[in-house]
Amino acid sequence: MRARVLVADTLDAAGVERLRAEPELEVEVRTGLGREALVEAIPAYDGLVVRSSTQVTAEVLEAGKRLRVVGRAGVGVDNIDVEAATRRGVLVVNAPEGNTLAAAEHTLAMLLAAARWIPQAHASLVRDHQWDRKRFMGVQLQGKVLGVVGLGRIGSEVARRARALGMRVLAYDPFIGPERAGELGVELRELEAIYPEADAFTLHTPLTEQTRHLLGAEAFARMKRGVILVNCARGGLVDEAALLAALESGQVRAAALDVFEEEPPRSSPLLEHPHVVATPHLGASTHEAQLHVALEIAEQVARALKGEPVAHAVNAPGLPPELARQLEPYVRLAQKLGELFTGWASGAGAFWPRVEVVYSGSIASRDVRPLTNALLVGLLQPVLQEAVNAVNAPVLARQRQLRVNEVREADGGGPGRITVRAGGDAPGSEGLRGGAEAAPVGGRSSGPPQVSGTVDDAGRPILVAVDGYPVHVSSTGHVLLAYNRDQPGVIGAVGTLLGQSGVNIAFMQVGRRRPGEEAVMVLGLDNPIPDPVARRLREFDELWHVVIARW
Ligand SMILES: NC(=O)c1ccc[n+]([C@@H]2O[C@H](COP(=O)([O-])OP(=O)(O)OC[C@H]3O[C@@H](n4cnc5c(N)ncnc54)[C@H](O)[C@@H]3O)[C@@H](O)[C@H]2O)c1
Ligand SMILES: O=C(O)CC[C@@H](O)C(=O)O
């Protein structure tokens, strides 16, 4: 069945065409759906594409039982309940780069318009037929100080352009280092230190709980009298009532606003104020930006629905596409090892809440976050009812107090190898299944459980060790793992029982350290082992810790 994508806001036609070019996708454009209509429609879709108009609330995400990805054609994801999406395992992707220049240019246009009263003068001449050359005395920007709050993509481009106009730029961004600021010719300062210095302020941070009402009455009071404020980021960053009061008192000379706390703003007194320049959220509205974000988001939504890595995941670790492609076989390996580890380690009914993953060989020096994420998926999926994926695995792990500690062993070259082993104490009452079944794995004499794997030249996962006993399992499917006494007759007895029960053995591996002692047996099976047969295997005296799993 083809995956269905709903495009719910106006998207450049090239983006829709890009999605329609995918044979696996069926695309529908239905803009202007209200809350109720969206909640009603969404259960039929696997993907949703929006801009800033559609509100993707927890209610929408809950109703979207098939939903796997939400694509935001732009930067800000404040119209998407990312937390709810993460809990539901829905990937959120955005297109953060396509409209940077458009937003930066709009910011400069707004700053110049406010400094020179351009919209007011235009209206006076064109609408009121006045030739008034006294009322619209402006201020020069050359030599003035611009305070930039948020020195990310757009803030940086604004800073560059302001410098080209001869402005001195002071920036506040607690997450940017002095080197980056130095490259841009910008001086980093605390926000309080910029208030008394800046002749104009421009905001370029996301809207978060920390940044909501970043500028309010107190901030305006500390600014230079006659300051200009530009906001082309998000309405909620400014307390609009406080801004109105500051405009009325003349503390703020002019405000240039592209964004509002409520959009569209219903009868806002700010819009009536003669010193306000306003545009209806046009920062990203250039042909070039809309083309770029539409193509960027279409590409990512298509990739996500095909199960391919994406570059701009908001709620999952993202990697550059080339690196993601290189890591893909190891992502599959990590998930398989996780599943096998859960089966093997919980053979006696316990779940190990502390796990250590050791990365060695060529992957030790890579960004291993996607691998650890895939490991979490593998560890959790066998014991949870709900679907686990790379998006919700970290949340589910936290909820269940499962901790994975990453260890990197020096990169000695050679193929990458991943070992998953139990860390900390033997499982107790904190385990996923509680304390009742939490006895340590019975009969194990080789220390805490561990499994190791690598990938071959074709990218296939290979199981190379179980509890440190070397094996080599390259084909995937049903497997039986067990400890056995290394003595004549044991393997034969297992083979006979399985044969009599109609279970065909595809391959057998035995890993042992010394003849005559304990060994680990791995059997590849063409079909699953029926429960009664598994029970009889567990009754064999020479066999213990029998686990049926998949590789
Ligand atoms: N008007 C429009 O049409 C339009 C278009 C594009 C983007 N935007 C908005 O512009 C804003 C910036 O977008 P961007 O692409 O530059 O984002 P970005 O992520 O590249 O940059 C945001 C910067 O804000 C900084 N920041 C975060 N919290 C901060 C805080 N508490 N104080 C100071 N700095 C903080 C971050 O460190 C980062 O450098 C976003 O709100 C985005 O939604 C608006
Ligand atoms: O979709 C738009 O036009 C606005 C986009 C902008 O607000 C963004 O955050 O990218």
| CB 218 within 8 Å of CB 193 | no
**Confidence bin at 267 (pLDDT 50/70/90):** confident
Q: pLDDT: is 415 or 80 the higher one?
A: 80
3-state secondary structure at position 62: helix
Per annotation, catalytic residue among 26, 97, 197, 263:
263
Q: Are residues 341 and 447 in the same domain?
A: yes
Q: Has residue 310 been placed in a domain?
A: no
Q: What is the model's pLDDT at position 14?
A: 98
Q: Are residues 125 and 249 in the same domain?
A: yes
The count of domains in the chain is: 3
Q: Are residues 208 and 341 in the same domain?
A: no
Q: Is the pLDDT of residue 475 over 80?
A: yes
**Is the C-beta atom of 156 inside 6 A of ligand 2?**
no
Condensed to tens digits (0 to 9), the pLDDT of residues 36-87 reads 999 999 999 999 999 999 999 999 999 999 999 999 999 999 999 998 998 8
Q: What is the CATH number of the domain that holds 360?
A: 3.30.1330.90
DSSP string, 278-323: E-SS-TT-SHHHHHHHHHHHHHHHHHHHTT---S-BSSS----HHH
Candidate of 49, 75, 157, 205 to mutate for ligand 2, largest count of ligand atoms within 8 Å of Cβ: 75
**Rounded to the nearest 5°, which phi and psi values hold at 331?**
-65, -45
CA of 274 to the centre of ligand 2 (A): 26
**Is the C-beta atom of 421 inside 6 A of ligand 2?**
no
CA of 126 to the centre of ligand 1 (A): 36
**What is the position in ligand 1's atom list of the atom closest to the CA of 208?**
28
Candidate of 99, 172, 205 to mutate for ligand 1, largest count of ligand atoms within 8 Å of Cβ: 205
Q: Is the pLDDT of residue 545 over 60?
A: yes
User: Which listed ligand is nearest to 312 at the C-alpha?
Assistant: 1
Q: Has residue 315 been placed in a domain?
A: no
3-state secondary structure at position 527: coil
Q: Is the pLDDT of residue 185 over 90?
A: yes
**Confidence bin at 319 (pLDDT 50/70/90):** low
Q: Is the pLDDT of residue 256 over 60?
A: yes
Q: Are residues 364 and 512 in the same domain?
A: yes
Q: pLDDT: is 440 or 144 the higher one?
A: 144
Q: Are residues 398 and 529 in the same domain?
A: yes
Burial class of 129 by CB neighbour count within 10 A (0 to 12, 13 to 18, 19+): exposed
Q: Is the pLDDT of residue 323 over 90?
A: no
Q: pLDDT: is 261 or 512 the higher one?
A: 261
Q: Helices 490-500 and 531-539, interaxial angle, to 10°?
A: 160
Within 6 A (CB) of ligand 1 lie 74-76, 96, 99-100, 103, 149-155, 172-176, 204-207, 210-211, 232-234, 258-259, 281, 283-284
Burial class of 19 by CB neighbour count within 10 A (0 to 12, 13 to 18, 19+): buried
Q: Has residue 313 been placed in a domain?
A: no
| CB 476 within 8 Å of CB 432 | no
Q: What is the model's pLDDT at position 208?
A: 85
**Confidence bin at 400 (pLDDT 50/70/90):** confident
Question: Hey, what long-range contacts does 218-223 have (CB within 8 A, 24 or more apart)?
Answer: 219/191, 219/195, 220/245, 220/246, 220/251, 220/252, 221/246, 221/251, 222/192, 222/195, 222/196, 223/195, 223/196, 223/198, 223/251, 223/252
What range does the domain containing 508 cover?
321-550
pTM over 0.80: no
Q: Is the pLDDT of residue 348 over 60?
A: no
Q: Is there a cis peptide before residue 264, judged by omega within 30 degrees of 0?
A: yes
What is the C-alpha to C-alpha distance for residues 507 and 522, in angstroms, rounded to an integer?
8
Q: Has residue 384 been placed in a domain?
A: yes
Condensed to tens digits (0 to 9), the pLDDT of residues 482-505 reads 999 888 888 899 999 999 999 999
Q: What is the CATH number of the domain that holds 21?
A: 3.40.50.720
Condensed to tens digits (0 to 9), the pLDDT of residues 125-158 reads 999 999 999 999 999 999 999 999 999 999 999 9
Residues 6+ apart with CB under 8 A from 538: 546
Q: What is the model's pLDDT at position 438?
A: 29
Please name the helix (run of DSSP H) or strand (run of DSSP E) that holds residue 470, with its range, or none: strand 469-473
User: Can you tell me the mean pLDDT for 247-265?
Assistant: 97
CA of 99 to the centre of ligand 2 (A): 8
Q: What is the model's pLDDT at position 441?
A: 36
CA of 103 to the centre of ligand 2 (A): 9
Q: Are residues 419 and 343 in the same domain?
A: yes
Per annotation, catalytic residue among 18, 51, 234, 292:
234
- Tell me the sheet residues that pair with 92: 70
* Nearest Cα residue to atom 4 of ligand 1: 283
Q: What is the model's pLDDT at position 433?
A: 31
| CB 342 within 8 Å of CB 379 | yes
Q: Are residues 59 and 112 in the same domain?
A: no
What is the C-alpha to C-alpha distance for residues 363 and 80, in angstroms, rounded to an integer?
35
**What is the position in ligand 1's atom list of the atom closest to the CA of 74?**
6
Q: Are residues 522 and 408 in the same domain?
A: yes
What is the C-alpha to C-alpha distance for residues 551 and 549, in angstroms, rounded to an integer?
7
Per annotation, catalytic residue among 281, 292, 303, 421:
281
Q: Are residues 140 and 169 in the same domain?
A: yes
Q: Are residues 66 and 105 in the same domain?
A: no
What is the C-alpha to C-alpha distance for residues 279 and 268, in angstroms, rounded to an integer?
13
Residue that finishes a domain, picked among 221, 243, 278:
278
ipTM value for the complex:
0.99
Work out the mean pLDDT of the chain and round it to a whole number: 90
User: Can you tell me the mean pLDDT for 466-474?
Assistant: 92
Q: Has residue 183 been placed in a domain?
A: yes
Q: Has residue 283 been placed in a domain?
A: no
Q: Are residues 250 and 357 in the same domain?
A: no
- Known catalytic residue: 234? yes
User: Can you tell me the mean pLDDT for 381-399?
Assistant: 83
Q: Are residues 409 and 360 in the same domain?
A: yes
Q: Has residue 316 been placed in a domain?
A: no
Q: Is the pLDDT of residue 164 over 90?
A: yes
Among 370, 310, 377, residue whose Cα is nearest residue 71: 310
User: Can you tell me the mean pLDDT for 13-23?
Assistant: 98
Q: Has residue 314 been placed in a domain?
A: no
CA of 412 to the centre of ligand 1 (A): 41
